[in-house]
Structure 1
Amino acid sequence: MSSQVDLNSPPGVDPTRASVARVYDYLLGGKDNYEIDRTTADQLAHSMPEVRDLALENRAFLIRACRFLATSADIDQYLDCGSGLPTAENVHQVVHRIRREAKVVYSDHDPLVTAHGRALLDDLNQVRYVEGDIFNPDSILENQVVQAHLDWKQPIALFFVATLHHHKGERHEPAEVMRRYIDALPSGSYVVISHILDPADASEDATAMAELMDAVRNGSLAGATARTYAEIGELFHGLEFVPSGPTGEPGLVPLVSWWPDGPRLKPLNVAQRLFVGGIARKP
C-alpha cells in the first residue's frame, strides 16, 4: 500500500483496516476502496466464490424497492440507514427519475462515506447526509437535519439494507433498534430490510453460510450475524408485508425473488439463496 493512498485518505479513515462500505463498493465494481478492502473481499470469495452476488443482488433489490416505493406507493421521503458509498444507483438516483422532488436522507458512520456524502449536498437540494450511529436510533431520529429535512407527519420509506447483520451487540438487539425506528415512523410509511440468512438446518447452504461467517469473523470486518427467517421477520415488528411478486405471498423471500425484473432462467446459487429481505407497511 503506497503512502500516496494514506495521504489521500479522508480524516478518520484507516486504509489499513477493511470497511464494510468499501468492501461492498469493491464488490459492486466501485473505485473507492483500498488494498485491504480488496484483500478482504478476496478472502470472503475464498469461502464463498459467489460472494459478489451478495452485493449485486442486494443492490438490485434496493433499486426495485425504490421503484416500487416511488411509483406504486407514492412515497416522497426516504431515510437510508447505513447507506454506504455512493456507487451507481443509489436511492436518490432511482427515485428522482420518478419523483424529482423526493427528499432523501442518507446516514452512515464510515468517514469515507461521510466525505462522499457531504459532496452530495453541493449539487442536490433534495438530498442530505448525516453522520451517526444507525444502531443508536436517537442519534439519527433526533438529528436536526433529519428532523428538518423530512416531514414526520407524512409517510417515510426507511431502509436498513444489508446493515443489521453487522450489528455487533447481542443477537436480539437489532429487533429493539428497529422497534424504536418503526415507532417513530408516521402511518403509511414503509420499512425495507435485507439480511443474510441462517438456514438453521444441516444443509449445504448452512455450511456455506457458517464458513462465510467464520471468514468475516476472522478478517478485518470483525464479524457479522446471520439470522433465521423467523428472526429477520421479527425485525419488522408485525408490519404488513408487501406481496413478494405477482403470485407471491406477503413475507420474506430471497432478494432475487422479490418482484424480479424478468423470469428466472437458471437455479439460484448459494449466495442468492442466502440473502433475503422484504418490504412492509406501517398501517
Structure 2
Amino acid sequence: MAQAWKCAGLRWSADGPVLVWDGGRRSALTWGKRVAFGVAEGAVRTCVGARGHACPVSAVVPGRSTGARCEECARLDRAHSVAADTIADDPRPYHVYLAWFGPGMVKVGITAQERGSARLLEQGAVCFSWLGVGPLMAARRTEELLRAALRVPDRIPYAEKRVVRAALPEAAADRAREVAELHERAVALPMWPESLAREPLEIVDHVGAFGLAGLPVAVGDVGELVAGGVVSGELVAAAGPDLHLSTGDGVVVLDTRLMTGWGLAPAKGGELTVPVRQFKEPTGVQDGLF
C-alpha cells in the first residue's frame, strides 16, 4: 500500500467540506468525487492526543470511538472546554442558536460569535437561527432556560440526524417552521438574562451547502474502520462530520471522525469492505417542541 497519511478530520470552508491531514495537507470534497482509501493489514488505531500535543504513550484506541483519544487524553482535552462547561471566564461574546436537523429535531446551543456559522455546519444543522448574543455565562443561562422552560434539548445524537436526511421537507419554509415557532416563544420568556441581547429571526438553510436536495435514502453507516479494510464510494452529500457515499450496495454514511488515528492510503478497489450497520427507524425523536 502507498505511503499512509493520518486524517485530522473534516472541516467546513467557504467552498464546502475539506478533509484535513496531519502536516496541513487538505483534500477538497466535491459532489461526485470518488472517495477511496484503505487501512494497511496489521495496522492499529492510535490516540490522536489532546490540544495539539501527541499522546505520550501512543495508546491504541477502539475502532468505534469517534473521539480517537485514550482516557487520559480525553480528560485533558475536556479540561478547558466550553462544551464540557469547564470554562467560565472566557471574555468573548457568545451566540445562542436554535438548530433544526429534521422533523421534531430542534436543539439549543451556544458558539463563540467569532466562529460565525462554523459550529452549525460542523453539527450538520439543516437550518438554524441566532437567538441572542452576549457574555458566556448569560448564554449558558439562556441555554438552560430553554431546556427547562420549553423542553428543548442541547444534544441530538448523530445517528438520529443521519436517518432523516433523505426525508426532509422540500420547501425551505417548511424546514424553517419549527425554528421560527420556537424562536418566537423563546424571546418572549420573562426570565431572559439582561446581558444577553435578543437577535431577530433569520433562518439560514444548509440544504444546498450539504447537497441534501434529492438525497437518496442511506442504507446504513460505517461502524468502524479495520485493518485491511477499504472505504470506496462516490460523494453525494456531506453534513457535519458525515460523508454520504454511493456504493454498489446503496448510499452508506461515513462519519469522518472514525478516520482519525488510522494511517490511511489511497485505494484503487471499488468495494466497501469495512463493517456497515444497517439503519433502523429513528428512536428518541421529540414528539413536539412544547
Larger radius of gyration: 2
Which structure carries more relative contact order (alpha carbon 8 Å, separation 6+)?
A: 2
Report the structure, 1 or 2, having the larger helix content.
1
Report the structure, 1 or 2, having the larger strand content.
2
